[in-house]
Amino acid sequence: MNIEIQLCSLFVVILLSALYFKNRRLKLYKGQLFVGVLIISIMNLSLDIISLVFIHFRDYFTVPVTHTVCKLYLVVLILEIWMAMCYTTCDLMTEVRHRRFCRSLGMITLVFGLVTMLQDIGIYDVAGVVYTYGPAVYLTYFYALIMLPAIILCTIIYKKKMNRHRCLGMRYWITALVVAALVQFVYNDLLLVGFATSVGIIVLFVGLENPELQLDRQYGCFNSAALAELLKQSLERREKFALCDIALDNVSILKNKTVDITKIRKVGNKVMGRNPDVLVFNNLDMNIILIAKDINAIRRILQDYVKYFGEMSPTGLESTISIMPRGNQIKSVDDLLKLFGYCRSQKSASISNNVLFVTDKDVREFHLIDSMRSEITTALDEDRVEIFLQPIYNIKKGKYTAAESLVRIRKHDGEYLMPNLFIPVAEANGMILDLGKRVVDKTCSFLADGKAVDLGLETLEINLSILQCEQPDLLEDVLAVIARHGIEPKYLCMEVTETASINSKKLILSNMESFRNIGIRFALDDFGSGQSNFTYLADMPFDILKLDMNLIKSYQVSDRARHVIQAVERMAHEMGLEVVAEGVETEEEFDNMKKCGVDSIQGFYFSKPLPVPEYMKFIREHNRDV
């Protein structure tokens, strides 16, 4: 009997199976599929050997029984190919859909298996050359000829969706099977199909399914890759679980240079790993993540951790523990990292005894901010950042000589996001710089054809954020845009908010002087909105003073506010500043501001902010007869 290769292959697969089950591992769906591959491969190799034994001693076992054993081997071979297809496609769909796919394909495979058992089979055994033939064998070949190329095609077509190691492993395994079958077809005495199976199992085990690949060897717990897989599976299954993030304070670690942080964490993870109900992970940011079905299990293990940490840690070494009772509210590992980081930074005042509880409200706020951040990013990439223009009426000239350029984000459904929703998020994470540059570019592009200027537009105002004011290369960036669009700087006016001018006074003063030297003017926006300080009007070179709409509203009901506005108007004019009243919405407010002596009016009384085409239509109609 020529069974040496099969015996060696079976020994290798059994050995790998023992190593697989010996090591600590997560109970993942894809791991269960690999277990299925191992079991069927062991059955396949065992039946291959058993069928050869039965063929050799068929006079003793009887020919009908030998035929049955040989056909059982073919059926298991068909099942192994089915299992290979199931394993190959596990990255391509959700677990629910994949289970449904495997069941449907399994029913077809069982039909093939049953039909194979009903077919005739022949045995060739001459001069040490042994093989089977007949309809049962040909039906198995037919199934293989359909499935094996399909598996290879999956690894080619869906390469980007598949795990890279799974994709390569399946290619090597199927290629080895095909080559072995061809060699065995030419040289019938070389029974290599079983050997090819063991090669495929080895490749998959080494590259992907070795449980040690899920472990962080340095700290003795599961690693971030394992965390990602477990969270993905738990979220797909909509399982309920609790999360805990233990963040060691990096500053205190650096101060305590004698601390063996690796030893502390390794032993600490071992302490926490004693509870089988809690899984311990080392994350990419070196934080410790705990996952359990029950929040009480995490609470119990944290008591041991705090006690251990207090005994092992020197004075000054601290950690922050963030507990999230409903972990299924996150969307991914990245989501988890950003959520805990956001809560630690935004809720520092809520941390009690180094413990922070992440509530449902915190998660909703984070997701709102994170989705807005994503919306801003995609809007910039897809050129969905647009400008709306609000006309500003010049009382003396009796026409609309200016406008304010206001940023909007057009959503995919055609609706627009208002600035109060995305500007605070953009300012908090620095994206306001890119938004500001885009607004400057869109505004200059609008001015480039000269049509608005021909209709009487003299000034177009652009809001500058605090971060933009602080950029040393702000002037260079604006000059580059002006040069690219070929417009004159005199048509631009930069608006700076009252808050920005107070907090960044020294930083923006040099920028303002540089801008004014090339003809770009400056307006102080929202004057009277809160931090009013008259001294910076004298210190900083503003050309226009814009009264905040709340101050305008107060004019109607307060004598004090009326006197303040009149005093500001006189002072501004004596300083050579133009005065603009913002937020004027009624005829009464317009008449009052006109009597007060302001130069221009801006507000819904005349027009809301308009898209560029509507703005052009507006000034054509209203400036035509002036």
For 403-415, what is the mean pLDDT?
Answer: 94
For 398-421, what is the mean pLDDT?
Answer: 93
Partner residues linked to 525 by β-bridges? 497
Q: Which of 612, 610, 538, 614 is nearest to 576 (CA)?
A: 538
For 431-448, what is the mean pLDDT?
Answer: 94
pLDDT at 534 over 90: no
Partner residues linked to 27 by β-bridges? none
Distance CA 131, CA 186 (A): 12
Task: Tell me the one-letter amino acid at 186.
Answer: V
Residues of the chain with CATH 1.20.1070.10: 4-209
Lowest-confidence segment of 81-85, 288-292, 589-593 by average pLDDT: 288-292
More confident residue, 311 or 457: 457
Lowest-confidence segment of 67-81, 498-512, 518-532 by average pLDDT: 498-512
CB 447 within 8 A of CB 460: yes
pLDDT at 24 over 70: yes
pLDDT at 310 over 60: no
Partner residues linked to 389 by β-bridges? 405, 610
More confident residue, 453 or 346: 453
**pLDDT attached to residue 386:** 95
Lowest-confidence segment of 83-92, 222-231, 257-266, 484-493 by average pLDDT: 257-266
Distance CA 353, CA 163 (A): 42
Distance CA 322, CA 346 (A): 13
Q: What residues contact residue 269 under an 8 Å CB cut-off, 6+ apart?
A: 219, 220, 221, 280, 282, 288
List pLDDT tens digits, range 116-144: 999 999 988 877 677 788 999 999 989 99
Q: The dihedral of CA 314, 320, 324, 330: what is its sign?
A: negative
Lowest-confidence segment of 197-201, 223-227, 450-454 by average pLDDT: 197-201
Distance CA 107, CA 36 (A): 17
Residues of the chain with CATH 3.20.20.450: 369-623
Distance CA 280, CA 221 (A): 6
For 321-328, what is the mean pLDDT?
Answer: 88
Q: Identify the band that residue 252 occupies on the pLDDT scale cut at 50, 70 and 90.
A: very low
For 296-313, what is the mean pLDDT?
Answer: 71
pLDDT at 247 over 90: no
**pLDDT attached to residue 254:** 41
Phi, psi angle pair for 547, to nearest 5°? -75, 130
- Residue 165's Cβ-side half-sphere holds a number of Cα atoms within 13 Å equal to 11
List pLDDT tens digits, range 71-104: 999 999 999 999 999 999 999 999 999 999 999 9
Beta strand pairing status for 544-547 and 521-527? parallel
For 413-441, what is the mean pLDDT?
Answer: 91
Which tokens sit at 300? 């119990």
Residues of the chain with CATH 3.30.70.270: 214-358
**pLDDT attached to residue 249:** 60
Give CATH superfamily name and number for 214-358: Reverse transcriptase/Diguanylate cyclase domain (3.30.70.270)
Q: Three-state DSSP class for 499?
A: helix
Whether domain 369-623 has CATH 3.40.1030.10: the reply is: no
Give CATH superfamily name and number for 4-209: Rhodopsin 7-helix transmembrane proteins (1.20.1070.10)
Beta strand residue intervals within 34-190, DSSP E = 122-126, 129-133
